[in-house]
Amino acid sequence: MAPSATSTEWDHQFHTLRRQDLFRNPPTDHSAYPALQLAVNPHIESFNAIFRGDGKPGLLAHGLADIGTKVFLDGNDRAGPEGKNRLQIRIKEVTLQKPQVPPSNKLALNREIFPAECRERHATYRGKLSATFEYSINGGDVVEFTRELGQVPIMIKSNRCHLENNSPALLVSRKEESEELGGYFIVNGNEKIIRLLQVNKRNFPMAINRPSFTNRGAGYTTYGIILRSVRPDETSQTNVLHYLKDGNVTFRFSWRKNEYLIPVIMILKALVETNDREIFEGLIGPMGSKAAQNTFLTDRVELLLRTYKAYRLYSKSETRAYLGQKFRVVLGVPETMSDYEVGTEFLRKIVCVHLGNVDVTEKQDLDKFHMVLFMIRKLYALAAGECAVDNPDAIQNQEILLGGFLYSQILKERLDEFLSVSVRTAIRDYLRRHPAVSFTSEEFRKEFPGGIFRKSNENIANGLEYFLSTGNLVSASGLDLQQTAGFTVVAEKLNFLRFISHFRMVHRGAFFAQLKTTAVRKLLPESWGFMCPVHTPDGSPCGLLNHMTHKCKIMTDYVDVSNIPALVAELGAVETSSASTDESVVVMLDGKIIGWSTPKESLRIGDCLRYWKVEGSHNVPLQLEVGYVPPSNGGSYPGLYLTSTPSRMVRPVKYLPLQKEDYVGPHEQPYMSIAVVPQEIESGVSTHVEFDPTNMLSILANMTPFSDFNQSPRNMYQCQMGKQTMGTPGTAIRHRTDNKSYRIQTGQTPIVRAPLHNTYGFDNFPNGMNAVVAVISYTGYDMDDAMIINKSAHERGFGHGTVYKTKKITLKDDSRTRAAKSVVKMFGFAPHSYVSAAYQGMLDDDGLPHVGRMVKEDDVLCAWHTVTPDYNGNLVNLDGITHYEKYKDSEIGFIEEVRLIGAESGSEPLQTISIKIRIPRSPVIGDKFSSRHGQKGVLSQKWPMSLAGKAGALHGLAQDSTPFRFDEENTAADYFGHQLMKAGFNYHGNEPMYSGITGEELGADIYIGVVYYQRLRHMVNDKYQVRTTGPVVPTTGQPIKGRKRGGGIRVGEMERDALLAHGTAFLLQDRLLNCSDYTRSWICRRCGSFLSVQPTVSQFAPGKKKAPSMVRCRNCAVRLDDSEGIDLTEIQGEIWEDGQGNCWVGGDQTTQVVVPGALKFLDVELAAMGVKLKYRIDRTDEPRKGPMKPLKQISAAA
Amino acid sequence: MDALHYDPMAMDGEPEQPQVKISAADSTRVDFELSRTNLPFANALRRIIQAEVPTIAIDLVEIEVNSSVLADEFIAHRLGLIPLDSKGVNELNYSRDCDCEQYCEQCSVSLTLHAKCTSDEIMKVYARDLVADGRHANSVGTPIITDPEGLGCLIAKLRKDQELKITCIAKKGIAKEHAKWMPTSAVGFEYDPHNKLHHLDMWFENNTDPEKEWPKSKYAQWEEPLQEGEPFDYDAVPNRFYFEVEASGTMEPDLIIQGGIRVLQQKIGGLLKGLDPRKYGGDDADMDGPRSPDMNMDGGTTPWQDGGYTTPYGNNTAYGGGNTAYGGGPYSQGSSWQ
């Protein structure tokens, strides 16, 4: 067959047959929904960049170059480097294989491991990481060897995954969705994605005013310039310039989580051979320029240079040696390096690393010199108030840290750590044990790669698996990030909307979540077109967790800008500059100054470059960002900032002069005039126009029909609720083992939908039902936010859902100790053991459940027994006891699937099974439903709505619901009103209705329409919490917390206040005492103490059971042994005995009272601190002895 | 009057008896006008033909083999909704009234379904594959098949080697219990097409024409529109009702209406019997009359004998034992007012 290529064009129509055909015959060429893949691509491409396939060095190759060569010395640790042998070692190459069955498995025929298998086995989808090392001794022959570094998780559909570029048909045969997107990892069966993070724009000096800067020391002001400088391997190093009150400037950086401050002149002098005049002119401009008259500037630069005189460092070599001497220990360089070399290494590793990171040339050092000068200039402008601060919360000054890049950074650091720590310790240990051995000896040569390397911890891969499964970053350097946890999230496949949203989600950083200020959460106008204004959760992550618009792309590679410096020079940029921005503004390409020009000219250069890039001429790439910042009175620091780097966002808009697609970035956008609709274009002002106003919305926000007619927060709610809907998680549910997954059985496609609904293939995963809805208040069940469902619709399956729960039962200990690896348990009934008839019926002969069986609470799910190897090595059961795993949920479920999970080696008996249980959930009163407009409600009654409903699609049409299609003259109500009239209905959709009870016509006109309803996953069955008695906290006697354990719901202070205000005292007592820590306790009336009472022990009592419950106060009693002077005949009252055989008399004024258990607890706690509590007990409560007497007499007796 | 005008009471000279005028009828639907009666009666008839005319539907499903992709309960639900022939349903007992243990041929029809796919093609299992036991003289309980191919509803699809072996027990029931027993799929009900009684609001915007916005019902031609200057008759009550009964296929529409009338008669009979047993006779003739139900379901003490301290859940308090700190039962013992 050679059919035409699968069409990827979609409109808003139903396309029922086309979709059916796509389902039955998955395309063998490419997906019909390419937009979906585009949405996920930034994740995959960033992972692909680690190991590239196109011949260019990958990120890790760049990283290895940065790690460089390590040098180790033999001989005595304490002695100097003289006369020792040198071992030089470096990592030449790192490779990552596709996932495969380990060689220890001799049985597997198909050696490839596919993601579906990992999901089902609760395993990790990972491939073997190996590194080629290269070493030489004393600079001699280079020896190469390869080591395996463990297995690292691999991103699905990346270039290390078997699913890369698979056609839908092939994907289906590999047990995936036909539209499998990839972009996530599988770790222990869970799908994990690395969150996208907003970080500062790279290689751009940002002006910052931050109060915390003053904490750096005396004289420090709040002004600073932050430069996040990124190396070619995507690791970053932040350089900060601080402005001091006296005009001085210091350079700050962090290295391995410690901060260091250096006078900025020292950096400048170390970078190039220079003198004070050159620095002065570099900062201010040539003599005679306008800036030279700026005394604010000249005074400060003079002071800057003057104060530096104290160091007495003049030449480049002197300065570098000084820096080297100071930072030798910090950088951990080998002893063989000279101070000068260490200083060079310092500049290479820390200062403006984006301008030269490996084998830094003098030209690159000069670039760095110019960059630092520019930063100082901007800092002075900031301090003088000539330029405004750059907002680090605005997307204008941000970029996105991609998952793959972060992954590669961690990998690089692990490798660096491995080489400089693990290998170093291994060698040192070896030398200590063999003091006589030197690197040149034959013995060492034999031992080195094999024996010594084995000692070092080679398992780099485990760290990455830990990172992905917990999201915690364990790092010595901190990777220049502000958080150490929360990097990964589970990509929940609750429904498809939620799943796809995970990939478009951008987080501001966990650090900002704790911030008290709400400034970071603001919706800024800069975000237009890049971040969806609607799609952010309400509540604590509001504004921190954003979603990219559906057209926003993230660059994952550099675009080719080799031609740009020449073009800029041709257009009139010059090398000389002045500090006055009226005279000259910078032209910067990726943080490198490529020239200066007048402000007017920079605009012309920018416009030229833009024209060329859209035109595609002069080798200017389309995705180049031409950030023209115009000069202004105290606004942002002007300049022309060209950017070609990865990690930045771009989005398509139409360039008016050429009527062609242009890509704009967030840094340039604020200074451009982009019309939203063609009518808005202003001649001579607008340069661009949006392709569609809906481009500013995220995928989900675009799914809300006619969102422009909604109250704005409703759109936000819908974005949340769309993600909580019980929908269709996928078509390959059979091959998934999510802990919990929800599915709606009667899904439909919405009648009203946007064309994007089809473009993103949401009909493959229906999310709700078209329901005929009447808006009426009539029966009394129509309370706030509630709804009623037609009884017949309910009984015919409306909203019927299913919950799948997967339970993994493993007989192995999870601990990874070697002892736990042996087989001690096996599934099945123990031979010859007693099995009750009830259990036998529940399980098959193999001890596993039948598929399709109904399980209730406490039914058994599987049987197992212990085994020990006998003398033949056969595993036999000795004790004859069968153990069972039980089903613990209170809801009835059905066994859907039973999976037997074998060991990876293929040589172990069955140790792990996973059971999927299906729980049917038809809608019940209390379940939550919502329309697509943020209108949620709970089901309050199932009601036989007996009257004729409106036909759902009167014309059988799919309605386009794209927002911004109607306006005041041409309203939506009119458009659809006329459609309704055509079908013979009322213009407003109102209809006469008849009371179902009396048959009488209802006076009001009732609106009836068809609404797409979503069933939300919040169901009462998962929520209801009831208790009267139950488990309590042992110390206080109050109910425990938690629904799962049968705990209570707290009646807190506010609830208490409400009950008091209502005067419901008895209810209050019931809640706070009777249903809580009601305790009956003995107390002594005389001394008023709970703690001094004790039960008596009678020596004549026959047994423990019949002991009389007599309680006496020991405090008020008199011990007979002590009271020798007392006349025994005068003693009144009974003699009693305590447990130790002591006899006491008195203390009989005890009584029982009801108190909260917490009170007794408090009494005990206070007693422990030496505080005694005394309670006064009302005498009128005294128990009556004998016949009733008048009250007066009792009080007289007492 | 035409031939369709059915008025058996006309001879008695009592024109106040209800009248039925059938305007259209076929095997699945009937449109008629019910006149000379009042709204409560017409509405009662509507409600009963929708919810209380007994039909037969599959109620118990025994699944022996189900290797299809559909879950057991899912197939069972689908089977329940298959329309079965209910013409002779009056001969069957309700299962709960029957003398048998669980079900028998007096109160049920059993249908079996056995399908296995042996070819590579996907096999479709239809309602026609349900085989009734044939122990009943009439066709009661056989699946209704109205499509030209004679297949009936689709139950499931099977792949190669998948099998369904199912025994279904169909029982008599009414739609109040479950929608699967509905004899009708929809019942249209309308009166006063010109809104002469002003029961409806018929709202319209000021600048629009209500005649255009509110399309007239087809029954508007059957009645005289409001004449110019005709005063509003506030004493008027509706007396012409237009029914459009759509059958679900299990019964013919005339049987549904007749069945509905019978159920209505029985209900009225039962009510009369309950109200005045001496006059109308019946089992409860010796009963003393209405009383409120006992609080204790077990027929024990009546609530007014224990001072109101018995809850329907027994007399134990939440904190156990029924004993409080102040003595025995709540305020009952040890105090002087006894």
From CA A405, how far away is CA A994, in angstroms rounded?
A: 64
Model confidence band, residue B298 (pLDDT cutoffs 50, 70, 90) = very low
A1013 with A771: CB under 8 angstroms?
yes
> What pLDDT score was predicted for residue A1124?
63
From CA A125, how far away is CA A100, in angstroms rounded?
A: 9
DSSP β-ladder status, A1006-1015 and A990-991:
antiparallel
Residue B68 lies in a domain: yes
A463, A491, A519 — which closes off a domain? A491
Q: Are residues B111 and B253 in the same domain?
A: no
CA angle A20, A24, A27 (to 5 degrees): 100
Residue B311 lies in a domain: no
CA angle A131, A133, A137 (to 5 degrees): 170
B128, B143, B175 — which closes off a domain? B175
Q: Are residues B140 and B49 in the same domain?
A: no
DSSP A437-448: --TTSHHHHHHI
A127 with A96: CB under 8 angstroms?
yes
Q: Are residues A38 and A52 in the same domain?
A: yes
From CA B243, how far away is CA A948, in angstroms rounded?
A: 12
Q: Are residues B44 and B191 in the same domain?
A: yes
Q: Are residues A95 and A22 in the same domain?
A: yes
Chain A residues in contact with B62 by the CB 8 A cut-off are none
> What pLDDT score was predicted for residue B260?
93
Q: Are residues A814 and A887 in the same domain?
A: yes
Q: Is A22 left (phi over 0), alpha (psi -120 to 50) or beta?
A: alpha
C-alpha B25 chain-centroid distance = 22
Its domain, for residue B86, covers 56-175
Residue A523 lies in a domain: no
C-alpha A270 chain-centroid distance = 42
> What pLDDT score was predicted for residue A954?
56
From CA A468, how far away is CA A487, in angstroms rounded?
A: 8
Q: Are residues A647 and A723 in the same domain?
A: no
Task: Look at residues A663, A750, A550 and name the one whose alpha carbon lies nearest to residue A34.
Answer: A550
> What pLDDT score was predicted for residue A115?
94
B-contacting residues in A 1024-1043 (Cβ below 8 Å): 1028-1029
A477 with A125: CB under 8 angstroms?
no
Reported ipTM: the value is 0.78
DSSP β-ladder status, A258-263 and A398-401:
unpaired
Residue A61 lies in a domain: yes
Residue A499 lies in a domain: no
How many domains does chain A fold into?
Answer: 7
A60 with A408: CB under 8 angstroms?
yes
Residue B332 lies in a domain: no
User: With a cut of 50, which residues of chain A have pLDDT below it?
Assistant: 1-2, 940-953, 1194-1198
Q: Are residues B192 and B261 in the same domain?
A: yes
Q: Are residues A1053 and A1094 in the same domain?
A: no
Residue B128 lies in a domain: yes
SS3 A72: strand
Its domain, for residue A1041, covers 1025-1073
Chain B residues in contact with A745 by the CB 8 A cut-off are 74
Query: Does residue A1171 belong to the interface with chain B, where contact is any CB pair within 8 Å?
Result: no
Q: Are residues B140 and B151 in the same domain?
A: yes
Q: Are residues B86 and B150 in the same domain?
A: yes
Query: Does residue B179 belong to the interface with chain A, where contact is any CB pair within 8 Å?
Result: yes
> What pLDDT score was predicted for residue A429?
84
Q: What is the mean pLDDT of chain B?
A: 80
B292 with A1047: CB under 8 angstroms?
no
**What is the nearest CA distance from A946 to chain B, expressed in angstroms?**
8
Q: Are residues A378 and A446 in the same domain?
A: no
The pLDDT tens digits for B69-96 are 999 999 999 999 999 999 888 888 898 8
How many domains does chain B fold into?
Answer: 2
> What pLDDT score was predicted for residue B296?
45
Kindly report the CATH number assigned to the domain that includes residue A172: 3.90.1100
Sign of CA dihedral A953, A954, A960, A964: negative
Q: Are residues A997 and A1036 in the same domain?
A: no
Q: Are residues B73 and B145 in the same domain?
A: yes
A653, A668, A696 — which closes off a domain? A696
Residue B223 lies in a domain: no
Q: Are residues B169 and B31 in the same domain?
A: no
Q: Are residues A790 and A766 in the same domain?
A: yes
Instruction: For A1096-1124, give one letter per residue: b (16+ CB within 10 A) or e.
Output: bbeeeeeeeeeeeeebbbbebbeebeeee
Task: Look at residues A270, A249, A248, A274 and name the one whose alpha carbon lies nearest to residue A350.
Answer: A270
Q: What is the pTM of this model?
A: 0.84
SS3 A1198: coil
Residue A1192 lies in a domain: no
Give the mean model confidence (pLDDT) for residues B19-40. Answer: 91
Q: Could you say which of A796, A1004, A1074 has the minimum Cβ distance to residue B179?
A: A796
Residue A1090 lies in a domain: yes
Kindly report the CATH number assigned to the domain that includes residue A1142: 3.90.1800.10
Q: Are residues B82 and B46 in the same domain?
A: no
Query: Does residue A1153 belong to the interface with chain B, where contact is any CB pair within 8 Å?
Result: yes
B228, B256, B278 — which closes off a domain? B278
Query: Rounded to the nearest 10 degrees, what angle do helices A339-350 and A264-271 cross at?
Result: 110
Instruction: For A873-883, give one letter per residue: b (16+ CB within 10 A) or e.
Output: eebebeeeebb
From CA A331, how far away is CA A339, in angstroms rounded?
A: 12
Q: Are residues B116 and B161 in the same domain?
A: yes
From CA A673, how far away is CA A610, in angstroms rounded?
A: 14
Residue B227 lies in a domain: no
Q: Are residues A602 and A656 in the same domain?
A: yes
Q: Are residues B61 and B169 in the same domain?
A: yes
Contact A999 B42 (CB under 8 A): yes
DSSP β-ladder status, A688-689 and A674-675:
parallel
From CA A432, how far away is CA A425, in angstroms rounded?
A: 10
Contact B212 A797 (CB under 8 A): no
Residue B28 lies in a domain: yes
Task: Look at residues A460, A649, A458, A615 and name the one whose alpha carbon lies nearest to residue A547.
Answer: A649
Query: Does residue A476 belong to the interface with chain B, where contact is any CB pair within 8 Å?
Result: no
Length of chain B as a residue count: 338
Kindly report the CATH number assigned to the domain that includes residue A763: 2.40.270.10
Decide if pLDDT at B307 tops 60.
no
Q: Are residues A303 and A349 in the same domain?
A: yes
From CA A1198, how far away is CA A1021, in angstroms rounded?
A: 59
The pLDDT tens digits for B45-56 are 999 999 999 999
Q: Are residues A783 and A880 in the same domain?
A: no
Contact B201 A1080 (CB under 8 A): no
> What pLDDT score was predicted for residue B4?
47
> What pLDDT score was predicted for residue A1129?
66
> What pLDDT score was predicted for residue B61?
94
From CA A2, how far away is CA A1017, in angstroms rounded?
A: 44
Decide if pLDDT at B318 tops 50.
no
The pLDDT tens digits for A703-736 are 888 888 888 888 888 888 889 888 999 889 989 9
Q: Are residues A969 and A1031 in the same domain?
A: no
Query: Does residue B74 belong to the interface with chain A, where contact is any CB pair within 8 Å?
Result: yes
Length of chain A as a residue count: 1198
Residue B103 lies in a domain: yes
| Closest Cα in chain B to A944 | B176
Q: Which of B48, B62, B319, B323 would you mutate first to test chain A, the one with the most A CBs within 10 A?
A: B319
Kindly report the CATH number assigned to the domain that includes residue B86: 2.170.120.12
How far, in Å, are A63, B39, B187, B259 from residue B51 at the CA level?
76, 18, 11, 11
Amino acid at A631: P
Residue A502 lies in a domain: no
From CA A398, how far away is CA A375, in angstroms rounded?
A: 18
Q: Are residues B64 and B79 in the same domain?
A: yes
